[in-house]
Structure 1
């Protein structure tokens, strides 16, 4: 399994393990929701996230990763429009290995890193922004991996439905040139993510009928 796809699989498997072993039913439901949300989003099946059993009618997102301003999405229509745009632009940001995940009755928090891939000239044009730390770009046409450390908090309702996302980049990107053949395709990512759909997991997920 390619390096980045293996890291993604390890990330999702860890969440699944936490959901299975969490003794509190409410917190377990939150973790299952987080697992399936990520799997559906990464595979391009993000419409399923908005099932009423998974997400509230009026979700609220706040995000600042690779941007000067915080992106605020208020309501399902704005969130769906955002997902459609990143799907059309073939934007891929997947977990880059181990993470620290915490859950309580109000939701979950995470410290982790995601990785996406960009041509050198795109990074060179933005290199003076706060979210870069003077990256070395010696080939504007080469492909570079951008690793983004982030902190996030996702609140949930008492019945385990997602209220929204707050995701913030907390350190500049780490940038490294990579072989284009090492960059996972959309199909590579979907093949891993689909194993964690509600209907495909072995655990007793409360979303099996979604």
Structure 2
């Protein structure tokens, strides 16, 4: 198995924070950081707190040859719940680059997601439906935010299918959602209250 550490998944976000001075951009990166950690920790309900996500988020995925559109909290929550209950909320990132602007965070990375074989076997040959896999994809993510830095949704797509890989995990190599939550708990920080001084119109033109 590859040497993966879930506590290092967001190191590119930390690097971006270290070089960002604009207070709005920092807030967006901190919200992005918190969201990803909450998702991987199985604490998805906290993602939908009013200060983090709009009331009607829209998610679009173009991955593994399939397109999926989710609209509304109920549809998005259902996917997060299913991933958590099956340990598919576990992600790792490699060679990630992160950029931020006034209304979005963008990521380009090699992403590894724990994925149950039964789902993969529906579209790919040679998959053991009873096994767990790390699915390696070259992925882009664009997360738009509103004026108050609340997530509007996610656009996620696989941009290079030739680099896709299915890595079968032995049972002892599978990281459970419960264990992921334990490992990530010290890294999940509360967001500071949003202040109107961070509205786009109130800020100077800082990088």
Same fold (TM over 0.5): yes
- Alignment-derived partner of residue 131 in structure 1: none
TM-score norm. by structure 2 comes to: 0.78
- Alignment-derived partner of residue 73 in structure 1: 70
Asked if 1:35 corresponds to 2:26, the answer is no
- Alignment-derived partner of residue 88 in structure 1: 85
Q: 1:166 aligns with which of 135, 155, 162?
A: 155
Bigger mean CA offset, 165-174 vs 79-88 = 79-88
Rounded Cα–Cα distance in structure 2 between residues aligned with 1:75 and 1:140? 30
Asked if 1:185 corresponds to 2:171, the answer is no
Q: CA RMSD in A?
A: 2.7
Alpha-carbon offset, residue 67 of structure 1: 4.4
| Map 1:189-208 → 2, pairs under 5 A | 189-199=180-190, 205-206=191-192
| Map 1:144-163 → 2, pairs under 5 A | 144-163=133-152
Rounded Cα–Cα distance in structure 1 between residues aligned with 2:40 and 2:129? 28
Alpha-carbon offset, residue 13 of structure 1: 3.5
- Alignment-derived partner of residue 98 in structure 2: 101
Q: 1:51 to 1:9 in 2, by over 3 A?
A: same
Once the two structures are superposed, residues 181-209 of structure 1 have per-residue CA deviations (whole angstroms, 9 ceiling, x without a partner) of 2332223321232222124xxxxx5269x
Q: How many residues align?
A: 191
Alpha-carbon offset, residue 65 of structure 1: 1.9
- Alignment-derived partner of residue 132 in structure 1: none
Once the two structures are superposed, residues 32-56 of structure 1 have per-residue CA deviations (whole angstroms, 9 ceiling, x without a partner) of 0000001111111111111111111
Q: 1:123 to 1:45 in 2, by over 3 A?
A: closer
TM-score norm. by structure 1 comes to: 0.77
Q: 1:141 to 1:58 in 2, by over 3 A?
A: closer
Alpha-carbon offset, residue 168 of structure 1: 0.8
Describe the SS at the equivalent of 1:3.
coil
